[in-house]
Amino acid sequence: MTTALLIDDDPELGELLSKYLGAEGIALHIARSAEEGFQQFRTGAHDLIILDIMLPDTSGFEVLGRLRAESNIPIIMLTGRGEEVDRVVGLEKGADDYIPKPFPLRELLARMRAVLRRYSNTAAAAAGAQSRQGRVVRIGELSIDPGARLATLGGTPLHLTATEFSILDLLGSNPGNIVEREALMENALGKGEDFDDYVLNVHMSNLRKKLAGRVSIKTIRGSGYLMAVAQSQET
């Protein structure tokens, strides 16, 4: 059975989600504070974390940063207002997805399944990476090793979330070719057409910052994205 950890001090939400997710085959453990959340997280018993931004003892963003320093466990942020700044900050700090309160329970479940499916695909890709071992993709200064799930830029490891690596790996596997947005949404983010692509836009922006202009990800309007050596690196 899938097990999720909810870090949120709202007892009514916890009770509601526990019943709903339980009926869908997902066991929910609940922590009412950041510290209680860390204690439960470190048991290693969870497949996914649902994290509220507003906690009684600290900011959810601080919790997110600490979690990301220790693990790449899937994390969905709950935002109270749905403001863009909250979404951007959460995604930049390593959240895999977000959902503003109040939210339909079915939408949360769909987002949870999408994130878990993406991580399941990542694990499957790593398990089957032997067929790709030795096939390191190189684009200018960028090297992508699918087997090791490692990317380096000029020999320096890039600190990427699992989502960012999945996007980079898919783009790098098609150098000089356009990768459609739909393909990235489905294969890198595990999301279908019923999801908006705001999350993809933010992850793409984060990747471009980390590539520092030394490898370019070009937006092809109406189609998708294309990875290529930045013009300044071609000479």
CATH code where residue 185 lies: 1.10.10.10
Regarding predicted confidence, which is higher, 159 or 23?
Answer: 23
Domain tally for the chain? 2
- Say what the pLDDT of residue 196 is: 58
Q: Are residues 167 and 230 in the same domain?
A: yes
pTM: 0.70
| CA-CA-CA-CA torsion sign (46, 29, 103, 108) | positive
By residue count, the chain amounts to 235
Distances (CA, A) of 148 to 122, 142, 151: 12, 15, 9
Give the chain's largest Cα–Cα span. Answer: 61
The set of residues, in sequence order, having a beta carbon less than 8 Å from that of 126 and lying 6+ positions away, is 147, 149
Q: Out of 26-40, 163-177, 192-206, 220-234, which region has the weakest mean confidence (pLDDT)?
A: 192-206
Of 126, 148, 169, the one marking the end of a domain is 126
CATH number at residue 10: 3.40.50.2300
One domain, residues 51 and 164: no
- Shared domain for 59 and 143, answered yes or no, is no
What is the tens place of the pLDDT at every residue in 188-218? 776 654 455 778 888 898 899 999 989 999 9
Q: Domain range spanning residue 34?
A: 2-126
Task: Provide CB contacts within 8 A for 204, sequence distance 6+.
Answer: 167, 217, 225
Task: Count the Cβ atoms, other than its own, within 10 Å of residue 118.
Answer: 22
Residues 118 and 150 in one domain: no
Name 137's bridge partners.
144
Do 17 and 120 lie in one domain? The reply is: yes
Q: Is the pLDDT of residue 125 over 90?
A: no
Confidence (pLDDT) at 88: 78
β-bridge pairing 2-7 and 26-31: parallel
* Token pair listed for 43: 């048991």
Contact 177, 227 (CB under 8 A): no
**Helix or strand holding residue 40 (H, E):** helix 34-41
Domain stop point among 126, 158, 186? 126
Q: Give pLDDT tens digits for 42-55.
A: 998 899 999 999 99
